[in-house]
Every structure is written in structure tokens, then in C-alpha cells.
Amino acid sequence: MAAVMKPKLPALVLLLALVSMLQVVVVVVGMQVLEVSRLGEAGHLFAAEARREGVTPSERITALGREISALASDLPLSANSSVFVALDDEKMMLWRAVIVGPTDTPYAGGCFIFDLYFPPTYPQVCPQVKLKTTGGGKVRFNPNLYNCGKVCLSLLGTWMGEKGEGWLPKVSTANQ
């Protein structure tokens, strides 16, 4: 059986694809992300939840501020696998993440888009997460990523894990 060689995408092509998927403008120098513009609600899977909200609770603002500040150091950024996050300063409760599949895995070369929503009671409750990359509801990548967008993780309370693997309000973060 012959080995199949996957062509490597030039970094610029990958970056342009990510910019299109995230619906943002990204300024990158070398491998460091310097700036990301607004995400907005358009096309976000949790936009309706965000619009229904009233006043933003200060505990959520404080927690999200800490997590946003830590994004640059917490998220992996390399040529073979990275995580990119976009958010809107006016709607801090809505995030969009793109995970680039690591090399030497079945996900290599893939870009997987997730929408996150941080409910008003965050960080007392976990964020809500949906997979956007489902081929219009036709593709299920693995047992924990459903074609309807459901993401099953013990941290999110959507999967039964071991004791202590669930959301811990004073310890857990979205960056995990």
C-alpha cells in the first residue's frame, strides 16, 4: 500500500482560510498574533442567547477578562497545530475558536470551528460549546463531536467522566 502524501498549505493560505472562517481580521507577525478584530453576532450559534440577556453580571466580566488576558500564553500556536479565538469587546460572552488539526492525526490539515457562549452565571456554570464544522449536519468527526454540533466533554457536563473531571467554578477555565 502506497503512502498518501498530503500537500502542506503555505502559512499565508492557512491564515487567510482562518480569517474567513472566524469572520475577523487578524494581524500576524511571524507566529505571533498581534490583533484580532471584532467577531460580532452574525452566524454565531449562540447569538440569540446573547441578545436575550440584560445586564452583564460583574463576576462573569471579571472571569472572562482574566481568561482573555491569558489567551496569548495559554493557546498553542505552531506550524503544525494551533488554536485561534475571536471575540467581540461588546459581546464578551460570545467566542469563536478554530482548532487546526495536529499533524500525524486523522484531523491533520482540518480546521474545526467551535462557537462558545458564557451564560450570565459563568464561572459558576461551564460555558456552552457547539461544533460549527459539521458539513451542514452531515459529518460526525468522532464519538464526542456530533453532527448536530453537540460537544461531549466531562468539563462541559455533556459526558460522564471520572469524579473531579467536571466543571469546578473556582478552578476551571474555558482555556482548558
- Catalytic amino acids? 152
112-146 in b/e form (b: 16+ CB < 10 A) is bbbbbbbbbebbeebbbbbbbbbeeeeeebeeebb
The DSSP secondary structure of 12-51, one letter per residue, reads HHHHHHHHHHHTS-EEEETTEEEEE----STT-TTHHHHH
74 — phi, psi (to 5°)?
Answer: -85, -30
